[in-house]
Amino acid sequence: MEILEILKYVLPATIVLLASYLTIKSFLEKDERKLRYELNLNNQKIITPLKLQAYERIILLLERITPDALLVRVASASIDAKTLQSFLLMTIRQEFEHNLSQQIYVSPHAWDSVRAAKESIIKLINTASMRTEENTSSMEYSRMIIEMYIAVEESPITYALETVKNEVHELL
């Protein structure tokens, strides 16, 4: 009998305690989800402009290392082909190193395509250099680079540009 008397008080108290616990737990979880959502929203307000700036810089990098743009900036009639080759390679490496930090804002696939584009231009410059004679002028060497670049069916720079632009469209 005493057990029934004790259960008469303990059982309702246990039920009230359990109901209170579940209600408070549900309230706290809902509040935590709301705070996470607000934090993500605020982060997006900060990160999205940084990502867009990174994509802009990567596109600028790719445009600056295309052979035609690169040769306009670096070429000079007063230097020989070997010197021009050194200047071109140095300029590409500097441009790339200047934008290395942008990789944290883009997908690995996009960054790999940018790196592949850079490597293909370096390879093109070196291949053109191997095909030139020792006393070749920088103008002849420049013409050879442009011709070889035009002859490529699908330019890695074009592929990288499309990859980056597609990511930007997905972001927006």
pLDDT reported for residue 42: 80
* Residues of the domain holding 86: 2-171
Task: Report the domain count for the chain.
Answer: 1
Contacts of 87 (CB under 8 A, 6+ apart): 74, 79
Residue 113's domain is classified under what CATH number?
A: 1.20.120
Contacts of 76 (CB under 8 A, 6+ apart): 84, 138
**Average pLDDT along the chain, 172 residues, taken 10 residues at a time:** 80 89 92 89 83 94 94 83 92 94 92 96 94 86 93 90 92 80
- CA–CA separation, 68 and 145 (whole Å): 9
High-pLDDT (> 90) share of the chain, %: 62
